[in-house]
Every structure is written in structure tokens, then in C-alpha cells.
Amino acid sequence: MANDPRAAAHPIPPFPAGFLWGVSTSAHQIEGAADAREPSVWDAFTAEPGRVKDGSTAAVACDHYHRHTEDVALLAGLGVDAYRFSVSWPRVNSPGGLDFYDRLVDELLAAGVRPVPTLFHWDLPVDLDWLERDTASRFAEYSSTVVGRLGDRVQKWITLNEPAEHTLLGHALGTHAPGKQLLFDALPVAHHQLLAHGLAVQALRAAGAGDIGIANSHGPTWPASQEPADLEAAAFYDVLLNRLFAEPLLLGEYPEGLGDLMPGDVAADLKVISEPLDWYGINYYAPTRVGAPQGTEIEFGGITMPAELPFSVQEIEGVPVTDFGWPVVPEGLTELLTTFRDRYGDRLPPVVITENGCSYEGLDDQARIAYLDGHLRALHRALEAGVDVRGYFVWSLLDNFEWAEGYARRFGLVHVDFATQERTPKASYAWLRDVLGAQRTRTRG
Ligand code: FCB
């Protein structure tokens, strides 16, 4: 906080002029107004008993669809440069659906906030399926429709959010929509999303868009020990979370022969997938400690992992955890960024942190302030180490529908009372506003 003597003694070091500060949300998690759009796989999933822990749905969520003006005012009050939101494909498929984003973009620009839309954040129209190759072409068509309407005012675009989680949680383990438990038979879902990304990059560029990225989730993988079985399991997990999604995009190839398991003309598809990016978005939350399989089912971070997986996810000891149980390891962000720079060199375009945040209860959220403070310093260390990072987006503006956890996890800088829809900025909102103000003063001066 501004009046915290520690913060005054050690202000967050200045980031480069032009560094892009923002916050992120996603359509399904905040918009509500489910009656003003087609259903998505998430509507079907939440309708199945037992899928969402508190039995809730996102039919109303933060009612952002009706309260966007108030939410844009919160963004303006925070002083962010940019707002990352997602466009709901099922809403765009409904008559008048694009009008909502058209108004939102105008309101953001009027408030001096740059709109940064993500074209897919997991809410696939319910009649589509990422196991089908055709979904990639449909995504490109939908992307053309959106850029055709918003491209005169939107410069910065994100194709997909976290295809890794959507593949692993949604199609391999089944803890997210569409709830499939295909384990390694889910690999085509990764390929088709990556292909969709590449086709969308082409569609956006054909429409004149020139600042295109993706938001991939990545994190360091820490082996549980130096034993060969643990090292091997950790390396495999690193392939699944990091390399499987980074390397087709950045290098035009799948790691470790995984291309042989993908459907279609993989060599031709990789040319599309590796269309050069203007920047590379990374969502970072925590590292993962991974060891050899233990032959038993494991519950971790709200996810059940079956015994047959070739690795086991283990607790990182000696670090604080969020209310979600996720470890708080800011230095993991520095490690991740320097590892990516070392691995991919010139093939890695400028990086933007497209999500980073934590779930904690309460309005006086000092733990969130500590989390964000630590991660901003860690990000600055990556800059000092020579990684080209151009922006940072906090997850999230508002408490919202946190997927299979329902409303039980609060990631917002702004508290939402879901009974009344009242918004109340938390201590972290004021803290971030002051940090951004200080950054502007220092980079100007
Ligand atoms: C990310 C998702 C985002 C939110 C945060 C907590 O994996 O992209 O929608 O759920 O985690």
C-alpha cells in the first residue's frame, strides 16, 4: 500500500516507458446474460450435477453484460493502459451479439483504456468439438467476423487462451468442460487448437490487424529429486505444459516426436501454426513440482489426476499458498522467462504476461498485494536479465466464476457480492493504482 513504509523504502523499480499495464477477464467468467447468447460447452458442463463444486453456473456471473459501464469506470479508476477481455463465440453466433463488444470497445477507448480481446477463452459453442479438424476452420471464420467489426478500433489481438489447460483439463482429465477423459487421446485437441490459432493469425492479418499474440500458460517444472525417475517424469510434464504448446508456435515443430501422434498433414499444419507472432503471451501462476508416478490417484489444486499418468504432481514445501492451495513462488516467473529466452533465443518474440494473480478472501487483501508485489519485482529481474517483456496483466479485475470451483475462488482486485452485484474495490485495487501512478511519474521523469 502507498502508506506501507516497506513499499516507500523499496518502491517497485521503474519499468521501461511504454510498458503495457493491464488487467484480464474472460467472457464466460463475468458476462452472465446467458439468455442473450447461444450455449457453450461450459453451459452444458455446469448443467451436469457434480461438475462445479458449489453447484453454481455462470448464467449471471458478474452480470458484466449489463454492468459494463460501471466496470469500465473501475478500469479507468485503476489507471490501467489496457483491458484484456474475451469475446464469446456463442454470443457472436447470436443475433446482435457483436453489438455488445462494439459498445464495450467504444466505452474503453472513451475511457482511455486499450481493448485487448481474446478470441477464445474456453467457451466453445456447444455444437462444436476440438476433436474435429473443421473446428479450426470455423474458428478462423469467426475470427474474420470479429475483426471485421472491431478491427477499425482494436489493434492488439489474442487468438487463444491456454490451449494447454483446455486440452488437459477439458479433454484429458475431464475436470473442465467439455468433461472428456481421453488422457493421451486428447492430443488432437491440442493440434486443432494450434491450427485454429494459425488460421486465425492469417485471418486477422488479412483484415489488416498487425499486433497479434496468444496467451499460453507456462511455468517452471521442478523435479521432485535428482533421481532419474523423477527427472524423467518432470521432463515429460515440461513437454506437456510448456514445450508442446510453445514449440509448434515458435519453432514450427512438435517436441519429442509428438508430431507423429497428431492427426492430419502435420508438416503442412505446422507451417500455419508457426505464422510469426508479434508477441508471445504467458499466463504465469506457479511452478509445478513433479516426480515419478506413484501408482495412485492424486488430488492436487482442485484436480483429480488418475494413477495411470506417467508423473505425479507434488507439493512444494516451505512456501506460502493461496486460498486455492497454489504455491506462491515469484522467482518462478523470473526462472520461466529466462528459461524461455535461453531455450528459444531469437525465435521468442517480445513477451507479455497476459495473466498473473491469486485467489484470496477478504477486502483487506494484503496477501494479494504481497503476491503482486513479489511478482512485479520478479518480472523486473527478468527484464534486467535481458528478457524482452512488454506488458503485464493482472488476473483479474473482478471476483468471478472460477470454472469448476464456481464462485468459491476470489481472484479479483474488486470484490463482487454475487447476491447484489455490488462491486467494492479491495486494498489491492488501491495498491495497484498507486503502483501504476508511481510508474508513470518515474518513467516520465
Ligand atoms: C487461468 C485461466 C483463467 C482463470 C485463472 C485463475 O488458467 O485462464 O480463466 O481461471 O486461471
Q: Which of 132-136, 162-166, 302-306 has the lowest mean pLDDT?
A: 302-306
* Cell matching residue 284: 504465469
pLDDT for residue 253 is more than 60: yes
Look at residue 7 in the predicted model and tell me its pLDDT: 52
Termini Cα distance of the chain: 22
Would the pLDDT of 445 be above 50? no
Separation of alpha carbons 186 and 184, rounded Å:
5
* Mean pLDDT in residue range 250-263: 97
Radius of gyration of the chain measured on its C-alpha atoms: 21
Q: Cell match 467504444: residue? A: 106
All three cell numbers of 240? 506437456
Assess whether 256 carries a catalytic annotation: no
Pairing type for strands 280-283 and 351-355 reads: parallel
Domain extents for the chain?
5-444
Q: Which of 86, 400, 403, 409 to mutate to test the pocket of ligand 1 (most atoms within 8 A of CB)?
A: 403
The verdict on whether 422 is a catalytic residue reads no
Measure 394 CA to ligand 1 centroid, in angstroms: 11
Q: Which of 162, 165, 247, 335 is catalytic?
A: 162
Q: Which atom of ligand 1 is nearest to the CA of 357?
A: 6
Q: Per-residue pLDDT tens for 206-215? A: 999 999 999 9
Whether residue 138 is predicted with pLDDT greater than 50 in this model: the reply is yes
- pLDDT tens column, 60-69: 999 999 999 9
pLDDT in tens, 362-418: 999 999 999 999 999 999 999 999 999 999 999 999 999 999 999 999 999 999 999
CA of 150 to the centre of ligand 1 (A): 25
Instruction: Tell me how far the alpha carbon of residue 241 lies from the centroid of ligand 1, in angstroms.
Output: 15
Residue with cell 490451449: 163
User: Which residue is associated with the grid cell 487448437?
Assistant: 193
Superfamily of domain 5-444: Glycosidases (3.20.20.80)
3-class SS of residue 248: helix
Residue of 285, 353, 395 to mutate, ligand 1, most atoms within 8 A of C-beta: 395
Q: For a substitution probing ligand 1, which of 119, 173, 193, 355 has the most ligand atoms within 8 Å of its CB?
A: 355
Helix axis angle, 427-444 relative to 64-78, nearest 10°?
50
Q: Is the pLDDT of residue 57 over 80?
A: yes
Quote the DSSP letter at residue 275. P
CA 226 to ligand 1 centroid distance, Å: 31
Q: Is the peptide bond before 14 cis (omega within 30 degrees of 0)?
A: no
Kindly report whether the global pTM for this prediction surpasses the value 0.85.
Answer: yes
Query: Tell me: the pLDDT tens digits for 340-366?
Result: 999 999 999 999 999 999 999 999 999
Closest residue to atom 9 of ligand 1, CA basis: 26
How far does the centroid of ligand 1 lie from the alpha carbon of residue 119, in Å? 15
From the candidates 31, 247, 355, 402, which is the catalytic residue?
Answer: 355
pLDDT at 68: 98
Residue 168 CA to ligand 1 centre (angstroms): 13
DSSP string, 347-372: GS--EEEEE------SSS-HHHHHHH
Is the separation of the CB atoms in 241 and 162 below 8 Å? no
Helix, strand, coil percentages for the chain (3-state, nearest 5): 45, 15, 40
Identify the residues whose C-beta falls under 6 Å from ligand 1.
26, 29, 161-162, 165, 217, 283, 355, 395, 402-403, 411
